[in-house]
Amino acid sequence: MKIAIYTRELKIGDNSFIKEMFQALEENNIEVLVCKVFSESFFDGFDVSKYPVFSSYQELDEVDFLFSIGGDGTLLETVDLVRDSNIPVLGINTGRLGYLSSITTDEIRYAIESIVSGKFELDSRSLLALDTSEKFFGDKNYALNEVTVQKKDTSSMITIHVYLNDEFLNSYWADGLIVSTPTGSTAYSLSCNGPIVLPDSGNIIITPIAPHNLNVRPLVISDDTKITLKIEGRTDNFLTAIDSCSVTMPITTEIEINKALHKVNLIRFNEYNLLSTLRNKLMWGLDKRN
């Protein structure tokens, strides 16, 4: 078995957890690849330099699992690493909310033993694929959470003309527009009053950002719908973001968004319960009246 380990950054407080993780991996005779951040780190006498280093998805051909250490933002970056390889991803939360990450650092030994013994499930999450004529994102054009278009400056709003399967839906006069997967319904879309949608619902959510017309509400559509966006504004450019990666595009750019042909597989253990996670992470029921 071979496992790749990815993180954005490591903190001093992660030292004991990292040592325990590597010890558990070695005890189970698991081959390990690490990202560059690990190769440049020192863990209180624990030698990480002996592990081979990977820097791109091309080097993960024979990897069985990928560990993402950090918050949800770190896990989102693994979408570009696993791509359509179907490599399962385990999110280990060292961040704040950690909605996508399934375990805490205290559970790492249990998680590794469960993976070795096959006591886990795969939670397949849909992705959005973005397409533009000039390929601004290259081949990194998949979003696990959302695709967002926004005004580039802090003054004038933009107008986003939206078409569903080439049929006109609406012109949104707003600061921007979020096109979200069910996974992303608890992310940026939620903060803009979008609905929470369960991961296996087969939907896409369209949520305006600060719309000027107050009767314009978020919309839930089928995920087999082609979405086309045409932008107007007083400036020459606007911003488009795929999860946490953003680029500036000319105002004349037309964007097409579809459900991607592949999915991302997240590792979940037998004790995981989606509805329980929803209640706990969003702190539902903490009102004393409940």
Whether 274 is covered by a domain: the verdict is: no
- The pLDDT profile of the chain, 290 residues, written as one tens digit per residue, is 999 999 988 776 777 888 899 999 999 999 999 998 887 776 666 677 788 999 899 999 899 999 999 989 999 999 999 999 999 999 999 877 777 887 888 999 999 999 999 999 999 999 999 999 898 998 889 999 999 999 987 778 999 999 999 999 999 999 999 999 999 999 999 999 999 999 999 999 999 999 998 899 999 999 999 999 999 999 899 999 999 899 999 999 999 999 999 999 999 987 777 788 788 777 787 766 65
Cα separation, 183 vs 185, in Å, equals 5
**Its pTM surpasses 0.85:** yes
State whether 103 and 213 are in the same domain. Answer: no
pLDDT of residue 140: 87
pLDDT of residue 16: 83
Burial class (CB in 10 A: 0-12, 13-18, 19+), 241: buried
Q: Which domain holds residue 201?
A: 127-261
Cα 286 to chain center, whole Å?
Answer: 27
3-class secondary structure for 97-137?
Answer: CCCCCCEEHHHHHHHHHHHHCCCEEEEEEEEEEEECCCCCC
Whether 207 is covered by a domain: the verdict is: yes
Cα separation, 122 vs 104, in Å, equals 18
pLDDT of residue 136: 92
State whether 24 and 143 are in the same domain. Answer: no
Whether 271 is covered by a domain: the verdict is: no
Contact of 60 with 32, CB cutoff 8 Å: no
Whether 20 is covered by a domain: the verdict is: yes
Whether 272 is covered by a domain: the verdict is: no
Cα separation, 101 vs 187, in Å, equals 13
- The residues assigned a catalytic role are 72
From 118, 140, 174, the end of a domain falls on 118
pLDDT of residue 290: 58
State whether 113 and 145 are in the same domain. Answer: no
Query: What is the side-by-side strand order in the sheet with 176-180?
Result: 219-222, 203-209, 176-180, 146-151, 237-242, 245-250
Cα separation, 248 vs 149, in Å, equals 10
Of the candidates 123, 114, 54, which has an alpha carbon nearest to the alpha carbon of residue 88? 123
Partners of residue 186 on adjacent β-strands: none
Contact of 51 with 36, CB cutoff 8 Å: no
State whether 20 and 100 are in the same domain. Answer: yes
pLDDT of residue 28: 96
CA atoms within 13 A on the CB side of 41: 22
CA atoms within 13 A on the CB side of 211: 19
Whether 165 is covered by a domain: the verdict is: yes
pLDDT of residue 288: 61
State whether 110 and 141 are in the same domain. Answer: no
pLDDT of residue 206: 98
Query: What is the number of domains present in the chain?
Result: 2
From 66, 89, 118, the end of a domain falls on 118
State whether 252 and 140 are in the same domain. Answer: yes
pLDDT of residue 156: 87
Q: Which residues fall within 8 angstroms of residue 179, CB to CB, at 6 or more apart? A: 128, 146, 147, 148, 204, 205, 206, 227, 229, 257
